Structure 1
Amino acid sequence: MALTGKLEVEMEINSPADKFYNIFRRQAHHIPNICSDKVHQIDVHEGDWETPGSVKNWGYTLGGTSMSLKETVESVDDENKSITFKVVDGEIMNHFKCFKSNLQVKAKDEGSLVKWSLEYEKVNKDVPNPDAYLEFAVNVTKDIESHYLKA
C-alpha cells in the first residue's frame, strides 16, 4: 500500500470565480461566519491574511471531533486563481508526514468550476486515505456558494 497519494474533486458552483477565490485568498476570516458548524475560527498566527508564508490557525470539526491545525500559504497564482496550502501543525500531522491542499477556481459561463486536490504522505500504511478532508472541502465549498447566492 502506497504511503503517498493524491485525491481530487471538481465541482461546479453558481458563485462567481473571483468572489469564491477571494475568500480563500484574502478573506478567510469570514469562513467561520459562513460555515460555523464546520469551521469555528481562523486567525493569523504569523504574517497577515494575504502574504504567502503567513501562518493561520484553523479550528474546525471533522467527523464530530473538534480539531485544530496551522497552515501556511505555500504558493499563490492570482492569474490562474490557484492557492496551495501546507499544513505545518495540528492533529492531522499525527497521521501524515506531509499534507497539502490546492484550490483552483475557474470562471465558467454563469458560475465557476472549483477543483480541490489533496497531496499527502501517511506516517504508516495503517492510516486511511484522507477522504474525510476532501469531503470537508466539498461541504465548505457548498456553504460558501450558498452564502454568495443569498447575498
Structure 2
Amino acid sequence: MSQNGNKVEIEIEVKAPAAKFHQVFSCKPHIMASMSPQSIQGCDLLEGEWGKPGCIICWRYSHDGSPQIAKEIIEAIDNENYITNYKVIGGNLLELYKSFSSTVKVTPKENDDGSLVHWIFEYEKLKEDVPDPTGKLQILIDVAKDIDAHLLSQQP
C-alpha cells in the first residue's frame, strides 16, 4: 500500500483472468453481494444502465462492523485497458471527505497467469484530522479475494 498526498493505492494479485475480473467491477457490480456477502450487502442501480458510464449505483457494505452506503456514479469504463472510474456523490464517505473517487485497473499477468488489481482512492478531506481511507482498501482486498475465488470456481 502506498500513500501520497490525498491518494492511497494498493495492488493485489488474483488468479482470475483480467477481463472477467474487470467485468464484475465495470458491468456487474450488483453480483458482488452474492460473491462477498460479509463485505457487501448490496449494490442497486439508481439511474442509467449497468455497464454504462454515467450510471448511478448505491453500495450497501460493512466497515468496522457498521453498515455504510456509498452512492457513486461510474464516470468511465475502459474495456480495452480494464479500467473503471467511480466518483462518490452521496453516502457516509462524504461525511469525512469533500470529494472521493476510485479507480480500479486490472492488468493481465504474463502467460495468462492471473492478474494484478490496482485500486486508487483520490480524495479531499473535510478536516485535517480526518483519517486516510486505508481501512476501505482492506474491504477491497477482502472483496477481491472473494471475487477471485468465485470466478475460479466458475471456470471449466
Whether the TM-score (by the shorter chain) exceeds 0.5 is yes
Structure 1 residues 133-148: aligned runs within 5 Å = 133-148=136-151
Task: Give the superposition deviation at 1:28.
Answer: 1.1
Task: Give the superposition deviation at 1:50.
Answer: 1.4
C-alpha distance in structure 1 between counterparts of 2:66 and 2:59, whole Å = 14
- Quote the residue 2:34 is aligned against: 33
Give the aligned residue type for 1:33.
S
TM-score (norm 1): 0.95
- Quote the residue 2:115 is aligned against: 112
Point out the more displaced range, 73-82 or 87-96.
73-82
- Quote the residue 1:99 is aligned against: 100
C-alpha distance in structure 2 between counterparts of 1:133 and 1:99, whole Å = 12
**Deviating runs (4+, > 4 A) in structure 1?**
none
C-alpha distance in structure 2 between counterparts of 1:104 and 1:95, whole Å = 25
C-alpha distance in structure 2 between counterparts of 1:143 and 1:101, whole Å = 20
C-alpha distance in structure 2 between counterparts of 1:112 and 1:131, whole Å = 22
What do residues 21-46 of structure 1 show as CA deviations (whole Å, max 9, x unaligned)?
A: 00111111110000011111111001
What do residues 128-151 of structure 1 show as CA deviations (whole Å, max 9, x unaligned)?
A: 000111111111111101111222
- Quote the residue 1:23 is aligned against: 24
What is the alpha-carbon root mean square deviation over aligned residues? 0.9
Identity of aligned residues (%): 36
Q: Which runs of 5+ in 2 are unaligned?
A: none
What do residues 69-105 of structure 1 show as CA deviations (whole Å, max 9, x unaligned)?
A: 1001111211111011000000110000000110000
Task: Give the superposition deviation at 1:54.
Answer: 0.8
Question: SS of the residue aligned with 2:51?
Answer: coil
Question: What is the number of equivalent residue pairs in this alignment?
Answer: 148
- Whether 2:138 is the aligned partner of 1:130: answer no
Give the aligned residue type for 1:89.
G
Q: Which runs of 5+ in 1 are unaligned?
A: none
Give the aligned residue type for 1:28.
P
C-alpha distance in structure 1 between counterparts of 2:136 and 2:89, whole Å = 16
Question: SS of the residue aligned with 2:6?
Answer: strand
C-alpha distance in structure 1 between counterparts of 2:123 and 2:137, whole Å = 12
- Quote the residue 2:68 is aligned against: 67
C-alpha distance in structure 1 between counterparts of 2:34 and 2:92, whole Å = 23
Task: Give the superposition deviation at 1:68.
Answer: 0.8
